[in-house]
C-alpha cells in the first residue's frame, strides 16, 4: 500500500470509528508545538515573538505524548519554532510513531542533514520541509541567503537515506501563478518529493510583515490561474480535492477549527493554530469550553482573510465522507 493510500485508509477508518462512537467533534491532525524558538527570523512568522524565557522552554516528551493520546488524533504535525532545536525531538517522534500516529516533522531544514541519523525511515514518518519558492524567492521569504540550497541538499540526503519527504509552501502577494507553478513543478518533477502542501499566508497579529498577505479574492485568483492548465492533477498535493476546489473558489465552506487543533507549551490553543484566545488544559476542555460559532469568515474580523488548511481542510475532509463521488475522488488522488 502506498503511504498516501495508507493515510487515506487510516483516516477513513478513524472517521468511521468517530461516527460509531457518535463523537461530533474530534481532531484529524494536531499541530504540536514543543517549543517556540527558531534559528531563523522570517518576516511573516507569528510564532517567534515570545519573550526570551518562553523561547527557552522545551516541552517534555511525556507531555507531548499524553496530549496526543488524550485527543486521539491519527496524525500529528510537529512545528514550532524549529523542532530540530528541541534536544528530545527524536524521542517525541519515536514515541508517536511507535503509537502508529502519522507524524510530519516540519522544519526549515537548517539542522536536518546534521540530525538525519537520529531518525528512522517509517511509513508513519515524513519530513515536511518549509520551501516558499525557488532560490531567490525562498531566501527572501526566510530573510536569509543560502537557506534554499541547504534545504534542497537536506531533502536529497533524506531521500537517499530512505525517508519520506514532503514540503510545505506558503504563498504571499509577491507570488504569481507563474511562481506557484515553477516551485511546484520543481518540487514535483525535479526534487521528486513524496507530497506537497500549499497554503495562502495568514496575517498573524504579531508578524513583522503585515503587508504581503493574500485576501480571499486574491487567493482564489492565484490558485485558479496556477491550476488552470491541468497541472493540479499531476502535482502530488497532500490535500483533499475539495480543499483544492476551495482554494480555487469552486466551492466555499465554513471553518472547522476543532478538526486541526494546536497544542503548545501553553496548552490547547483556542480556537486554532493561527489565533490565540486563551488555552485549555485538555482537548476535551477545549471542545467543551470554546464557543466555536464565534469563529470563521463573517463572524470574527481576524478570520476574514483566512483560507488556511487548519480551518478548512477538516471541513473538506468531512464533506468528502458525506459524498460517494467525493470519497472516490479523494481515493483516486491517493
**Whether 273 contacts 333, CB under 8 Å:** no
Tell me how far apart the alpha carbons of residues 334 and 330 are, in angstroms, rounded to a whole number: 7
94 vs 309 by CB, closer to ligand SF4: 309
Asked whether position 200 contacts ligand SF4 by CB under 6 A, the answer is no
Among 27, 74, 133, 271, binds ligand SF4 (CB under 6 A): 271
Judged by CB under 6 A, the stretch of 63-71, 236-244, 301-309, 322-330 that binds ligand SF4 is 301-309
Closest CA to 266 of 71, 28, 31, 87: 31
Asked whether position 47 contacts ligand SF4 by CB under 6 A, the answer is yes
Judged by CB under 6 A, the stretch of 65-73, 114-122, 307-315, 317-325 that binds ligand SF4 is 307-315
Which residues are registered as beta bridge partners of 77?
31, 104
12 vs 40 by CB, closer to ligand SF4: 40
Among 74, 83, 259, 296, binds ligand SF4 (CB under 6 A): 296
Among 84, 131, 184, 275, binds ligand SF4 (CB under 6 A): 275
Among 82, 175, 245, 248, binds ligand SF4 (CB under 6 A): 82
Burial of 230 (0-12, 13-18, 19+ CB in 10 A): exposed
CB 1, min distance to ligand SF4, A: 31
CB 222, min distance to ligand SF4, A: 18
244 vs 272 by CB, closer to ligand SF4: 272
Among 7, 8, 77, 108, binds ligand SF4 (CB under 6 A): 108
Among 27, 34, 74, 80, binds ligand SF4 (CB under 6 A): 80
Tell me if residue 103 falls in helix, strand or coil: strand
Tell me how far apart the alpha carbons of residues 129 and 148 are, in angstroms, rounded to a whole number: 10
**Whether 43 contacts 139, CB under 8 Å:** no
Asked whether position 315 contacts ligand SF4 by CB under 6 A, the answer is no
Closest CA to 314 of 292, 334, 281: 292
Among 3, 38, 154, 183, binds ligand SF4 (CB under 6 A): 38
Tell me how far apart the alpha carbons of residues 334 and 7 are, in angstroms, rounded to a whole number: 9
Tell me if residue 189 falls in helix, strand or coil: helix
C-alpha R_g of the chain: 18
Helices 177-185/216-226 angle, 10° precision:
50
Among 3, 45, 197, 203, binds ligand SF4 (CB under 6 A): 45
The number of beta carbons lying within 10 Å of the beta carbon of residue 14 is: 17
Q: Between residue 114 and residue 143, which ones bind ligand SF4 under the rule CB under 6 A?
A: 130, 142
- Positions that interact with ligand SF4 (CB under 6 A): 38, 40-42, 45, 47-48, 80-82, 108, 130, 142, 255, 257, 271-272, 274-275, 295-296, 303, 306, 308, 310-311
Amino acid at each position: 500500500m502506498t503511504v498516501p493510500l495508507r493515510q487515506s485508509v487510516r483516516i477513513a477508518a478513524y472517521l468511521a470509528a468517530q461516527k460509531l462512537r457518535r463523537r461530533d467533534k474530534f481532531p484529524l491532525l494536531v499541530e504540536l508545538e514543543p517549543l517556540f524558538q527558531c534559528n531563523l527570523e522570517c518576516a511573516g512568522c507569528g510564532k517567534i515573538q515570545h519573550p526570551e524565557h518562553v523561547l527557552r522552554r522545551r516541552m517534555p516528551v511525556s507531555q507531548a505524548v499524553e496530549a496526543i493520546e488524550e485527543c486521539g488524533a491519527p496524525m500529528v504535525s510537529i512545528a514550532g519554532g524549529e523542532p530540530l532545536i528541541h534536544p528530545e525531538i527524536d524521542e517525541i517522534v519515536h514515541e508517536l510513531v511507535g503509537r502508529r500516529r502519522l507524524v510530519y516533522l516540519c522544519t526549515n531544514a537548517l539542522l536536518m542533514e546534521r540530525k538525519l541519523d537520529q531518525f528512522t525511515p517509517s511509513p508513519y514518518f515524513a519530513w515536511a520541509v518549509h520551501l516558499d519558492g525557488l532560490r531567490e524567492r525562498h531566501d527572501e521569504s526566510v530573510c536569509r541567503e543560502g537557506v534554499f540550497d541547504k534545504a534542497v541538499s537536506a531533502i536529497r540526503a533524506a531521500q537517499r537515506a530512505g525517508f519520506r519527504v514532503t514540503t510545505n509552501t506558503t504563498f504571499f502577494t509577491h507570488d504569481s501563478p507563474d511562481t506557484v507553478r515553477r516551485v511546484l513543478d520543481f518540487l514535483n518533477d525535479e526534487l521528486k518529493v513524496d507530497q506537497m502542501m500549499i497554503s495562502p499566508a495568514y496575517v498573524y497579529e504579531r508578524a513583522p510583515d503585515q503587508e504581503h498577505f493574500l485576501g480571499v479574492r486574491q487567493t482564489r485568483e492565484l490558485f485558479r490561474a496556477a491550476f488552470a492548465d491541468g497541472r493540479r492533477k499531476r502535482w502530488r498535493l497532500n490535500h483533499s480535492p475539495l480543499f483544492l476546489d476551495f482554494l480555487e473558489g469552486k466551492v466555499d465552506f465554513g471553518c472547522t477549527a476543532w478538526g486541526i487543533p494546536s497544542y503548545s507549551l501553553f496548552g490547547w490553543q483556542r480556537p486554532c493554530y493561527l489565533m490565540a484566545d486563551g488555552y485549555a488544559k485538555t482537548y476535551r476542555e477545549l471542545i467543551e469550553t470554546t464557543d466555536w460559532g464565534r469563529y470563521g469568515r463573517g463572524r470574527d474580523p481576524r478570520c476574514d482573510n483566512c483560507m488556511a488548511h487548519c480551518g478548512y481542510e477538516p471541513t473538506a475532509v468531512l464533506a468528502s465522507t458525506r459524498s460517494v463521488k467525493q470519497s472516490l475522488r479523494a481515493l483516486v488522488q491517493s
